[in-house]
């Protein structure tokens, strides 16, 4: 094994793979140090398995909304088949195909745990227990991802709660499930397990799906309640205990007790930066800060991408960051990019991290948003005008007999461009990329007027938005 590479990436998830791949495509050598499965959480314990658990229920529900198809649906979900589908989506927790990809891409894979010992220097403990040093000629990239956050609830550890990786890899479905946390992961997994047969209760410390507009939250909450999910807002457990028969008992404010076979904690995630030796470089996790190219402030040779870098904790955004950072490292190695921050929207700047981050909640109905919220826009000094309307077009009626959807568009009144959008309803994720392009491209509304949506599609909501705006 070589001990020196141009670029060394710590962490082999989706972001780490992309950073190494861009470095190699730019003519540099690269190695990934990974202590678990190559491909990371998204491939095995997050995005892929959770969507595989959700999709069968969504497909069945969609069929029941269409006359003719509704009459043909006579059964319910096949639990064993759903779990087998999830196992396949997770590659049965076998990373051999990812290892084969890395070898084909010219990326060296080193199994082990890395710690920074100096500028561009690492100390690695291999899976076999051996210790050895590695050196990077140009850059080290942190791509260590994130780990679930556990709230400080007395007794919580004693009931052995699930975190999201436990839920997405579960081989059995509990009769009852209490979900602590009402963000994206909590909402998605609550509906998935409800449709697989669990009696589910969601506990929201604040508001259910609080990051999204009220109309979007309402539609999703109605969808979950239709599946039998109980949603309790403004509720946080005061204590957790085991019952005599091994179930979990949560003591809620006011003395109410909630007993469930399993408790799932989906209360957010924190950057996985422990054990990397960062304090020796003046960095106290989780205070990691990076510039537009992903370079850690104060260290010209250290970069960070993905969940650990302090930006949006989304797989697609981590991959975007990694492409930007990989290209920036190559450019600096060639002398094409200096030490100054690159210009916004250039090949080496992560501008979309602030202005055009797409989010999807893959519940049924879905929520899809991109760009700024109305509050964010005003705080940024943008004179924004919101345009809100129901998704009530011919394509929606064709999509489902009882289709109910909602859309919000945020227009910068000074530039007459879109700066934010949010959609709620069945399959609205497919509307999102058009909004992402409009925001990233700063397309004037007068030009969008010429982008004619096909009839009859749900995308006709774009025409209704422009008409409502006054074009």
Domain boundary assignment for the chain: 3-44+90-147+270-352, 156-267, 365-469
d(CA 248, CA 242): 5
- Contact criterion met (CB below 8 Å) for 282 and 197: no
Enumerate the known binding-site residues: 51, 144-146, 181-188, 268, 307
Residues in the chain: 471
Section 319-340 average pLDDT? 95
Section 206-223 average pLDDT? 97
Secondary structure of residue 253 in the 3-state scheme: helix
Q: Decide if domain 3-44+90-147+270-352 falls under CATH 3.50.50.60.
A: yes
Confidence category of residue 115, pLDDT binned at 50, 70, 90: very high
**Residue 128: φ, ψ to 5°:** -85, 5
Q: Decide if domain 365-469 falls under CATH 3.30.390.30.
A: yes
Confidence category of residue 396, pLDDT binned at 50, 70, 90: very high
- Contact criterion met (CB below 8 Å) for 395 and 456: yes
Query: What is the residue-wise DSSP string for 184-229?
Result: HHHHHHHHHHHHTT-EEEEEESS-TTTTS-HHHHHHHHHHHHHTT-
Which tokens belong to 389? 């309307």
What pLDDT, on a 0 to 100 scale, did the predictor assign at position 2? 82
- Is the pLDDT at 97 greater than 80, yes or no? yes
What pLDDT, on a 0 to 100 scale, did the predictor assign at position 352? 96
**Which is the CATH superfamily of the domain at 156-267?**
FAD/NAD(P)-binding domain (3.50.50.60)
CA dihedral for 344, 353, 348, 435, sign (positive or negative): negative
Q: Mention every residue, 6+ apart, whose C-beta is less than 8 A from residue 277.
A: 115, 116, 117
Section 289-296 average pLDDT? 95
- Is the pLDDT at 1 greater than 80, yes or no? no
Order of strands across the sheet that contains 248-251: 239-242, 248-251, 257-260
What pLDDT, on a 0 to 100 scale, did the predictor assign at position 391? 98
What mean pLDDT, rounded, does the chain reach?
A: 96
Phi-psi region of 21 (alpha: psi -120 to 50; beta: other; left: phi over 0): alpha
Pairing of strands 199-204, 230-233: parallel
- Is the pLDDT at 286 greater than 90, yes or no? no
Enumerate the known binding-site residues for FAD: 51, 144-146, 307
- Is the pLDDT at 127 greater than 90, yes or no? no
**In 3D, which of 264, 366, 248, 368 has the Cα closest to residue 316?**
368
Confidence category of residue 287, pLDDT binned at 50, 70, 90: confident
**What percent of the chain has a predicted confidence (pLDDT) above 70?**
100
What pLDDT, on a 0 to 100 scale, did the predictor assign at position 339? 81
d(CA 182, CA 165): 16
Enumerate the known binding-site residues for NAD(+): 181-188, 268
Report the largest interatomic distance among the alpha carbons of the chain, rounded to a whole angstrom: 68
Section 153-165 average pLDDT? 96
pLDDT digits (tens, 9 = 90+) for 17-76: 999 999 999 999 999 999 999 999 999 999 999 999 999 999 999 999 999 999 999 999
d(CA 390, CA 461): 8
């Amino acid at each position: 094994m070589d001990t020196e590479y141009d670029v060394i990436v710590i962490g082999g998830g989706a972001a780490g793979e992309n950073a190494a791949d861009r470095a190699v495509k730019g003519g540099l050598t690269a190695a990934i140090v990974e202590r678990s499965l190559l491909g990371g959480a998204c491939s095995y314990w997050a995005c892929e398995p959770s969507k595989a658990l959700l999709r069968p229920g969504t497909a069945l529900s969609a069929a029941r909304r269409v006359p003719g198809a509704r009459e043909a649906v006579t059964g319910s979900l096949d639990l064993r088949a759903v779990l087998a589908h999830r196992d396949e989506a997770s590659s049965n927790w076998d990373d051999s195909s990812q290892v084969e990809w890395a070898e084909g891409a010219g990326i060296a894979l080193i199994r082990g745990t890395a710690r920074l010992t100096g500028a561009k220097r690492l100390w690695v403990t291999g899976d076999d227990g051996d210790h050895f040093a590695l050196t990077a000629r140009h850059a080290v990239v942190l791509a260590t991802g994130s780990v679930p956050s556990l709230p400080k609830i007395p007794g919580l550890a004693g009931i052995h709660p699930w975190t999201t990786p436990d839920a997405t890899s579960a081989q059995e479905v509990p009769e009852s499930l209490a979900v602590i946390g009402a963000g994206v992961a909590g909402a998605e997994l609550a509906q998935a397990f409800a449709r697989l047969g669990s009696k589910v209760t969601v506990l929201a410390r604040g508001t259910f799906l609080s990051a999204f507009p009220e109309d979007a939250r309402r539609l999703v909450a109605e969808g979950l309640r239709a599946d039998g999910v109980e949603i309790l807002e403004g509720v946080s457990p005061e204590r957790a205990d085991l019952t005599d028969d091994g179930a979990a008992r949560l003591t809620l404010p006011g003395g109410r007790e909630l007993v469930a076979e399993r408790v799932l904690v989906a209360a957010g995630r924190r950057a996985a930066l422990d054990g990397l030796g960062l304090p020796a470089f003046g960095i106290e996790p989780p205070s990691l800060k990076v510039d537009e190219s992903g370079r850690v402030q104060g260290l010209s040779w250290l970069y960070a991408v993905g969940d650990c870098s302090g930006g949006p904790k989304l797989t697609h955004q981590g991959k975007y960051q990694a492409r930007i950072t990989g290209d920036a490292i190559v450019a600096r190695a060639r002398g094409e990019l200096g030490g100054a921050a690159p210009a916004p929207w250039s090949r080496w700047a992560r501008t979309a991290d602030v202005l055009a981050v797409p989010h999807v909640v893959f519940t049924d109905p879905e929520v899809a948003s991109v760009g700024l919220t109305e509050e964010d826009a005003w705080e940024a000094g943008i004179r924004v005008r919101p345009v809100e309307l129901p998704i009530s077009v011919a394509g929606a009626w064709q999509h489902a007999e009882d289709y109910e959807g909602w859309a919000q568009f945020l227009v910068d009144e000074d530039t007459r461009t879109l700066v934010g959008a949010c959609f709620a309803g069945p399959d609205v994720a497919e509307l999102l990329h058009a909004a992402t392009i409009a925001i990233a491209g700063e397309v004037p509304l007068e030009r969008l007027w010429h982008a004619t949506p096909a009839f009859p599609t749900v995308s006709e909501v774009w025409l209704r938005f422009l008409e409502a705006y006054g074009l």
